[in-house]
Structure 1
Amino acid sequence: MRKTVLLVEDDFIVSTILKKSFESKGWLVYSTYSGELVERSLIKYTVDCILLDINLPKVNGIDVCQLIRNTFNGAIVMLTANTDIDSEISSFDAGADDFIRKGTSFDVLYSRIVRFFRKSSTEFNDASIIKTGNLTCDKRSLKCFYFEQEINLTNDEFELLYFMLSRKNKLITRDEIFTYLKGFPYDGVSRSVDIVISRLREKLVNAKLPVEFIKTIRGKGYQLQNDLLEV
């Protein structure tokens, strides 16, 4: 099966070189230049490995690694120009599988990534299905079910629900949701988040989920009450 990699690198030249190098090995390559967009990329794409730059703007690679480690089961390899030992330790503490310095030849980098697939007869892959109680979301098919009933969601609604389910019982601010859906910071004016939340909440209620499943925390944001579905 064709391997896939997500490149998270804000240097366009470096990203382009890596993309061409992986493609020459037959890999399918997805790219993003911002740590803030990694979570959404992992919902849109199914990848085996993430090559993650540490020195990203706004949200650094170590914070991104720590954020996605609980929901992404593939290999996370940190790529950095840093030479200090603290960066390496912090990367492994955050859940990284390897730490490679920029300037390392692609052949060496590639060999170190491939070894993760040789260590197990089962290839690394991300968790495509997320489930809470009898609510199931499958990002491969972009389908959502409550018990046996399919809930017809738009892409934005599905991606938002999957995102919130991955942040189990955690408060998610409007700014975080806006950035996640749009790819840029909240402007303080748009009501698009409220519209998507409202549509999603209505569809979930129509499917017989509890009204309070999506809870509004006044002045702060929203929180999924996963405990309401768990048995």
Structure 2
Amino acid sequence: MQKILLVEDDQKLARLIKSFLEEHHFAVTWLNNGDLADQYVSSGGYDLILLDVMLPGKDGFEICRSIRTKFNGPVIMVTARTNSLDQLRGLELGADDYIYKPIEPLILLARIRALLRRVPVEEASTKLLQFGKLQINKVTHSVKIAESNVNLTENEFELLIELTKRAGEILSREYLFMKLIRRDYDGIDRTIDGRVSRLRKKLGDSNESPFRIKTIWGKGYLFVEDAWE
């Protein structure tokens, strides 16, 4: 049974979410205050965190920033605010998806299941990818640059694998959205942009002038094979 940590101060909503997810065979721990989130993440062995933005104590942004040093699983942020800058901030801090209130339970369930899917284990003969100093192990989900470990979340790892599978090709947001989020791109959602931004930072690329994972304006993203020397 997969474990979810729900951090939500709205008691009525939290009870509904907890009950609904437990009916669908998840084990749910509920916190109504952000101050204890770090402690629970460190000791709980959770598979996914469902995190409200507006909380007493630490808010969702602070929690997301803090837990990303110790938690590599998916994080979904929940908010009543529809400000796109808030969404982008959350994604850049390490959130994998954003859901707006009021929450549609079946949509929430679909998002959770999609995020909990993992990259399939590859055959041993094809488990290693090498691009200059960049080494990717598709079985252990480990990444190194010049023998230094790079700590990626599962969703960042999935993005990297998708980019490297078609290195040298421009991959559109629509394509990446369908492959990684597993639903159609609505033209507004910044989830893929946030993942690319975080992945660049961790791989020593620049979001202002990227040279390893390039933005091709109006078309998509390009993984540059010879930029890892």
Q: State TM-score, norm by structure 1.
A: 0.50
Tell me the amino acid that sits aligned with residue 25 of structure 1. H
Name the counterpart of 1:52. Answer: 51
Alpha-carbon distance between aligned partners in 2 of 1:107 and 1:68, rounded to the nearest angstrom: 27
Name the counterpart of 1:84. Answer: 83
Q: Which runs of 5+ in 2 are unaligned?
A: 122-229
Name the counterpart of 2:97. Answer: 98
Alpha-carbon distance between aligned partners in 2 of 1:84 and 1:29, rounded to the nearest angstrom: 28
1:87 Cα offset (Å): 1.0
Alpha-carbon distance between aligned partners in 1 of 2:4 and 2:39, rounded to the nearest angstrom: 15
1:119 Cα offset (Å): 4.2
Tell me the amino acid that sits aligned with residue 93 of structure 1. E
Name the counterpart of 1:156. Answer: none
1:43 Cα offset (Å): 2.8
Name the counterpart of 1:117. Answer: 116
What are the superposed Cα offsets for residues 148-201 of structure 1, whole Å, 9 maximum, x if unpaired?
A: xxxxxxxxxxxxxxxxxxxxxxxxxxxxxxxxxxxxxxxxxxxxxxxxxxxxxx
1:77 Cα offset (Å): 0.3
1:40 Cα offset (Å): 1.0
SS in 2 for 1:29: strand
Higher mean C-alpha deviation, range 69-78 or range 112-121? 112-121
Alpha-carbon distance between aligned partners in 1 of 2:8 and 2:2, rounded to the nearest angstrom: 19
Alpha-carbon distance between aligned partners in 2 of 1:119 and 1:4, rounded to the nearest angstrom: 15
SS in 1 for 2:113: helix
Alpha-carbon distance between aligned partners in 1 of 2:63 and 2:83, rounded to the nearest angstrom: 19
1:120 Cα offset (Å): 2.0
Alpha-carbon distance between aligned partners in 1 of 2:98 and 2:23, rounded to the nearest angstrom: 23
Give aligned-pair identity as a percent. 32
Alpha-carbon distance between aligned partners in 2 of 1:75 and 1:121, rounded to the nearest angstrom: 17
Alpha-carbon distance between aligned partners in 2 of 1:115 and 1:109, rounded to the nearest angstrom: 10
Report how many aligned residue pairs link the two structures.
Answer: 121
Alpha-carbon distance between aligned partners in 2 of 1:19 and 1:104, rounded to the nearest angstrom: 13
User: Do the aligned partners of 2:47 and 2:116 also contact (CA within 8 Å) in 1?
Assistant: no
Matches within 5 A, 1:156-175: none
Tell me the amino acid that sits aligned with residue 21 of structure 2. F
1:42 Cα offset (Å): 1.6
Within the alignment, does 1:70 sit opposite 2:69 as a pair?
yes
Alpha-carbon distance between aligned partners in 1 of 2:32 and 2:3, rounded to the nearest angstrom: 17
SS in 2 for 1:77: strand
Name the counterpart of 2:127. Answer: none
Which structure has the larger Rg over C-alpha atoms?
Answer: 1
Matches within 5 A, 1:198-209: none
Q: State TM-score, norm by structure 2.
A: 0.51
SS in 1 for 2:41: helix
SS in 2 for 1:6: strand
Name the counterpart of 1:13. Answer: 12
Alpha-carbon distance between aligned partners in 1 of 2:26 and 2:118, rounded to the nearest angstrom: 19
